[in-house]
Amino acid sequence: QARSSSRPYDLYQPQQEMDPDAERKLVRKLENALEVGELQLHYQPKVHAKYHSLMGAEALLRWHTSDKLIGPNKFIQIAERHEVITHITWFAIKSAVARLARWPEELSIAVNVAPNLLLNDQILSVVHDALDIYGVTPGRLTIEVTERVMIDDPQVMLQQLGRLRKLGVKISLDDFGTGFSSLSYFRDLPVDEIKIDKSFVSMMVESEKDLAIVKAVIGLAHNFSMRVVAEGVETMDIARQLSDLGCDVLQGYVFDKPLPVEVFELDYGLARDA
Ligand code: C2E
Ligand code: CA
Ligand code: CA
Ligand code: CA
């Protein structure tokens, strides 16, 4: 596992440490937050690389306490060690699908799903039932799975991704390049989309090496009929370069930060009369 330390910009984060009491307290607070509606999804646009037209959004969790807004990096890793992540994830899937039902058919939403939940059989019925109840076309929902999970139990992971895909939802391999990426992923993984990690995207203008990696990933992914999304696009210069390289979809601060859903809908003309 020593490999991760050899790259200064690696996003492979060490486990968050916390004393058990504080951790239990945080988990209880999270459970409560979910119950009282303090956990919400913010939406960040994913745009067409050439035309910058809206293609959909990534749903990102935010915790609105009475006095501040807390980002997922402060609690998601802790949550993932406890049962509460199950409730949080089912909530995220259901609210994203409910949102899709109100948006135009051509828009999609991506939801992040933690490793251990992907292996939870319940996910199949949660996804299926949500799509069914809201009458949403399955292909409009994308499940983002971080690449790091593939190492745990590749066989089971493969099966489970295959089952999800059978429901018609899209699978996206998140944070590509930060974990233990292997070329065999391109051959073996049933995924529709590769998300190039923002560490490569932000470095590609300064570093020929990162540029070469981005180019190679785009080329390979296209050979396997996968769509390529670049995340962390912060300048128009990078956006243009990615588009020239054939990248399909862009996401990043240069277009918008993750926005509260009402703001997103207003800004993109999706708001409906109440
Ligand atoms: P991620 O899935 O890699 O999401 C992308 C992160 O990059 C988000 O951070 C987003 O706000 C940020 N970002 C977007 N554009 C830019 C940019 O141009 N520059 C930079 N520097 N950053 C950008 P966020 O919202 O803080 O989320 C952090 C992580 O928390 C996510 O990383 C994801 O792994 C996790 N997460 C968020 N929501 C959920 C959720 O509902 N479930 C689970 N299991 N994990 C979640
Ligand atoms: Ca993601
Ligand atoms: Ca990512
Ligand atoms: Ca990430």
Tell me the ipTM for this assembly: 0.97
**Residue among 88, 175, 231 to mutate when testing ligand 1 (max atoms within 8 A of CB):** 231
Strand, helix or coil for residue 245? coil
pLDDT at residue 149 in the model: 63
pLDDT at residue 186 in the model: 85
Does residue 5 have a pLDDT over 70? no
Q: How far is ligand 1, taken at its centre, from the CA of residue 258, in Å? A: 9
For the beta carbon of residue 249, count every other beta carbon within 10 angstroms. 20
pLDDT at residue 17 in the model: 74
Lowest mean pLDDT among 26-40, 148-162, 195-209, 223-237: 148-162
Q: What is the mean pLDDT of residues 52-63?
A: 98
- Tokens 């409730």 -> residue: 87
Mean pLDDT across the chain = 90
Banded model confidence at residue 30, pLDDT cuts 50, 70, 90: very high
Q: Provide residues with CB under 6 Å of ligand 1.
A: 44, 60-61, 71-73, 76, 89, 92, 112-114, 144, 174-175, 198, 231-234, 252-253, 258
pLDDT at residue 178 in the model: 85
Q: Which atom of ligand 1 is nearest to the CA of 197?
A: 3
For residue 162, the one-letter residue type is G
CB 254 within 8 A of CB 236: yes
Banded model confidence at residue 36, pLDDT cuts 50, 70, 90: very high
What is the total residue count of the chain? 274
Percent of the chain with pLDDT over 90: 78
Nearest residue by C-alpha to atom 46 in ligand 1 = 112
pLDDT digits (tens, 9 = 90+) for 174-205: 999 887 777 888 888 899 999 999 999 999 99
Q: Which ligand is nearest to the CA of 251?
A: 1
